[in-house]
Amino acid sequence: MEFEIQRDALLRPLQAVIGVVERRQTLPILANVLIEKTADQLRVTATDLEVELQAEAALEGGQPGKITVPARKLMDIVRNLPDEAMVQLSQDQERVVVKAGRSRFTLATLPGDDFPTVDEVEASHRVSLPQAQLRALINHTHFAMALQDVRYYLNGLLLELEPQHLRAVATDGHRLALAELSPDLKLEEPTQVIVPRKGIQEMLRLLEDSDEPVEVVLGTGHIQVSLPDLRFTSKLIDGRFPDYQRVIPEEDGPYAQVDRETLRKALVRASILSNEKYRGVRFGFDKEQLKIQSNNPEQEEAQEEIPASYTGDPIEIGFNASYMLDALAAIDEETVRLYVRDANSSALVLGEQGRDMRYVVMPMRL
């Protein structure tokens, strides 16, 4: 294998896939990227056996072939070359030689045939929608995913596809985030998949706020997302997601209406003196105000009072400040509503107008 390519044209695909390469690997070859040269194309692939990223660049000439090279070393070399440099890459038995001007680097390799790649995903469902829509859906929910929970199905994001709805749901058992869109997906039947945390993080990194389409393919055990010159594949979590509809409170009880930014800032200030481990704060709802209180083992206290319109009887409820702040940060509207029944029931947090984003926060005993 041998080819010559402009420095930026090689750096782009390397940067696109490098996020998948773990710094500590169970297999030495997972520290490498697979470089494949065809008659008119260069393809770079990285994987950690759970997630695979494949980036392509047009490249005429050269000699076809495939080889694996140390991912981070190659990227660091290319990144530190002059912007206008032309990079020559050639295979020399069990080594790869990288040349650019008067610079020369010799890297160890492993056989390209030994590189583990995902088989072509057989599509059971295929949809296309603007990148910005899918990115927003993930961005508004991913923070509620569990982290290394023994209930493995919570360590990911549920994507629910219906003919007229696309829904994302995440929960760690203490709070829940739901966002939905109403595109025309042209699906024959609804389906659910659970995408693992790393797959969601990579999708969030790759998707852009643009109207350019992204194709999503669901297969048995895999999800594949195709962008221009980039293909992302992730294993799915094999498990049954909880019945999330059952834990979302109805919008028919008492609620407080409050300015989102005013509440967010007051909550940030009050949380400074909350218990660092549990982050608990007390919400006191009254007819025309919301009182937020916190304290810690050092007997320090904070109290905030902000204007609010509350439709029920006075009540006090404890919440985890971080969970409530995450929900407020995900809502785009100026005014939010907090539906609260009693001190033992979860709160429903949503924008005044929109019902396409809903957040549930469980109460805390303080």
Under 8 Å between Cβ of 71 and 31: yes
Domain membership of residue 190 as a residue range: 125-246
Tokens coding 303: 């109290």
Judge if 60 and 36 occupy the same domain.
yes
Of 114, 142, 170, which residue sits at a domain end? 114
What CATH number corresponds to the domain at position 211?
3.10.150.10
What pLDDT is stored for residue 10 in this prediction?
A: 97
> Which residue type does 288 have?
E
What pLDDT is stored for residue 122 in this prediction?
A: 84
What pLDDT is stored for residue 121 in this prediction?
A: 84
What pLDDT is stored for residue 342 in this prediction?
A: 93
Q: pLDDT under 50 in the chain at which residues?
A: none
Distance, CA of 134 to CA of 225 (rounded, Å): 11
Residue 215: what are its φ and ψ, rounded to 5°? -100, 130
Q: Give the list of residues 6+ apart from residue 80 with CB closer than 8 angstroms, or none.
A: none
What pLDDT is stored for residue 118 in this prediction?
A: 85
Confirm whether 120 is domain-assigned: no
Q: Give the list of residues 6+ apart from residue 137 with CB closer than 8 angstroms, or none.
A: 166, 168, 179, 180, 181
Distance, CA of 162 to CA of 167 (rounded, Å): 8
Confirm whether 223 is domain-assigned: yes
What pLDDT is stored for residue 327 in this prediction?
A: 97
Judge if 239 and 135 occupy the same domain.
yes
Confirm whether 135 is domain-assigned: yes
What pLDDT is stored for residue 189 in this prediction?
A: 85
Q: Beta partners for 160?
A: 167, 192
SS3 per-residue string spanning 279-311 = CEEEEEECCCEEEEEEECCCCCEEEEEEECEEC
Q: Which class for 137: exposed (0-12), middle (13-18), buried (19 or more C-beta within 10 A)?
A: buried
Under 8 Å between Cβ of 338 and 258: yes
What pLDDT is stored for residue 163 in this prediction?
A: 85
In the three-class reduction of DSSP (H, G, I as helix; E, B as strand; rest coil), residue 1 is classed as coil
Judge if 207 and 299 occupy the same domain.
no
Q: What is the pLDDT of residues 109-156, one digit of tens each?
A: 999 999 998 878 888 889 999 999 999 999 999 999 999 999 999 999
Distance, CA of 338 to CA of 361 (rounded, Å): 10
What pLDDT is stored for residue 220 in this prediction?
A: 86
Confirm whether 119 is domain-assigned: no
Q: Which class for 256: exposed (0-12), middle (13-18), buried (19 or more C-beta within 10 A)?
A: buried
What pLDDT is stored for residue 355 in this prediction?
A: 79
